[in-house]
Chains A and B, each alone.
Chain A
Amino acid sequence: MAAEESYPDDLRYHREHDWARVDGDTATLGITWYAQDALGEIVHYEAPSEGASVARDESYGEVESVKAVSDLISPLSGEVLEVNPKVLEEPETVNDDPYGDGWLLRVRMSDPAELDDLLDAGAYRALLVEQ
């Protein structure tokens, strides 16, 4: 069941259509409703391994639909704490619930100051209108 379009106010956004939810020094990452809608039903999640490091603005993995591949761009730098096992098994979870069960990665942030460069929901919505 596809989710309704939304961009929750409690998240921070990256212009490559990725989001981060911050909790202390950890952050949960995923892709936005817009990104999953553009891709179509997701059939594969190519995830990094736990313990790997991710860098801001760089690709940490890929999600694939039948006819498209999209790089996953990390909004923040840090170390991978956990990969969402549910999405590995059932990648369409990202389409069903992009901000909840469809999260992709949990990281320990190495530079919380990077948060300042991310967009809030309002700025991200404005970006989508521009595009």
Chain B
Amino acid sequence: MSYLALTDADREEMLATAGVASIDELFRDIPEGVRFRRELDLEPALSEPELVAHLTELAERNVDTGRELSFLGAGVYDHYVPAVVDAVLARGEFLTAYTPYQPEMSQGVLQAIFEYQTAICELTGMDVSNASGYDGTTVAADACFVAKHVTGREKVVLCETVNPQVRQVVKTYAPGFGLEVVEVAHRGGVTDPGDLRDAVADAACVIFQQPNFFGCLEPAPDLAAVANDVEALPVAHVDLVSLGVLEAPGAYGAAIAVGEGQSAGNFQSYGGPHYGFLAARSDFIRRMPGRIVGETTDLSGERGYVLTLQTREQHIRREKATSNITTNQTLLALAGLVHLAWLGPQGLREQGETCMALGEYAKERLGLPLVFPDQTTFKEFAVRVGRSAKDVIRDARARGVHPGYALGRDYGGLDDALLVAVTEKRTPADIDRLAEVLGEVAG
């Protein structure tokens, strides 16, 4: 198949206009020593039906959440994505546009980002949001970079209860930023403010996650206070779905709120593309990485939107920029906005309440010992399965149920721990089925 539009006659005429005799002559400035003179060793072209058949065959070798009953979460969740999201994202004016450098051509996407920024600020209790980052991991690294510049300090404190994917990315970025990373172990599933106090001296920021990777609710206001006491920036890594029922980070003293937006409006998609959000107090607006949309007026005084405070960014400030980011995740963030507008405040709160209620129901029905029995959990919780959680997963999957995530993959001493996620899509009957299967396969 072909996505090209030129006919042979077009080509002849255009070559003549360009003043060359052949296509090959167009490339005469490329030294012969670096010309590639054979054919690319790629498989033959496929027609559209062949392409669909080939990709379908690959897709069907995956077991998606439509093909087994899944309780897998651990950072990416099988929440419902409304059909209006599909409809909006299918609009070519959004899908096939570049970054809105020319505001008169891009009022649609600029206004949508402005609305997204507003929604993120409302949910997180912050003053300013950027237009999105790559995902929930990189926005945490971005927050460290902001904190380093704001405080002039060179240490990041990471709670061990933060998603291991996030911690790995922060640790990968840190050396280039000139930052040292210190981790604080958990105590019974959450971070102890006393332990944090011992680690926080001279820190640029403290990153904690609410609800944390184990699903447990951290004493977030206390953690933020410990950080604020020594003028380290408290960075809250939060789940948008929880913010209908859990307090906004801005309300308990966080300086920056970041997180993975996938839960709101994105499919699981084997990990991406999704969007990360990053919002902060207004003091840090000139330190924010990434695009920010601002309101203004046009020559006639009509309201309009533009990319603003661009002097922060790489195309102007170059090596002194607040980040090298250019591409963000606008389309996925747009999906998030549509999703949140579809839910509304009431819907978001109900969704959070439903997840929590299902979680409590599941804990009771499973009847397995909780790994962290003293903690309140949101939509995810850890149980002991009496033998290797990996083996339990294998045996449960053989019965058509994916029971969750093996915490031993990231945490020592938890080889028999299974992290179970329930979203509003899992019914009490689904949970009954999980209980039945785990009853058969747990040790």
Q: Do A and B bind each other?
A: yes
CB interface residues, A 37-73, toward B, < 8 Å: 44, 46, 64-69
Residues of B within 8 A of A46 (CB): 286
Q: Does chain A have a CB within 8 A of B311?
A: yes
Cα A67 to Cα B310 with chains together (Å): 7
CB interface residues, B 293-321, toward A, < 8 Å: 310-311, 316-317, 320
Cα A65 to Cα B309 with chains together (Å): 9
Residues of A within 8 A of B316 (CB): 67-69
Interface size class of B (residues with CB under 8 A): under 10
Minimum C-beta distance from A63 to chain B (A): 10
Residues of A within 8 A of B310 (CB): 66-67
Residues of A within 8 A of B317 (CB): 69
Residues of B within 8 A of A64 (CB): 311
Minimum C-beta distance from A55 to chain B (A): 18
Nearest residue (CB) in A for B308 is: A66
Minimum C-beta distance from A80 to chain B (A): 18
Chain B 351-372 per-residue mask, 1 if CB under 8 angstroms from chain A, else 0: 0000000000000000000000
Minimum C-beta distance from A71 to chain B (A): 9
Residues of B within 8 A of A66 (CB): 310-311
Minimum C-beta distance from A77 to chain B (A): 22
Chain B 260-282 per-residue mask, 1 if CB under 8 angstroms from chain A, else 0: 00000000000000000000000
Cα A53 to Cα B97 with chains together (Å): 48
Nearest residue (CB) in B for A71 is: B320
Cα A39 to Cα B316 with chains together (Å): 13
Residues of B within 8 A of A69 (CB): 311, 316-317, 320
Looking at A64, A65, A67, A68, which has the most chain B CB atoms within 10 Å of its CB? A64
Residues of A within 8 A of B320 (CB): 69
Residues of A within 8 A of B (CB): 44, 46, 64-69
Query: What 13 additional pairs, Cβ within 8 angstroms, besides A66-B310, A68-B311, A68-B316?
Result: A44-B286, A44-B311, A46-B286, A64-B311, A65-B311, A66-B311, A67-B310, A67-B311, A67-B316, A69-B311, A69-B316, A69-B317, A69-B320
Closest 9 CB pairs of A and B: A64-B311, A69-B311, A69-B317, A69-B316, A67-B316, A68-B316, A67-B310, A66-B310, A68-B311
Listed by A's residue number, 5 A-B pairs whose Cβ atoms lie within 8 Å are A44-B286, A66-B310, A67-B316, A69-B316, A69-B317
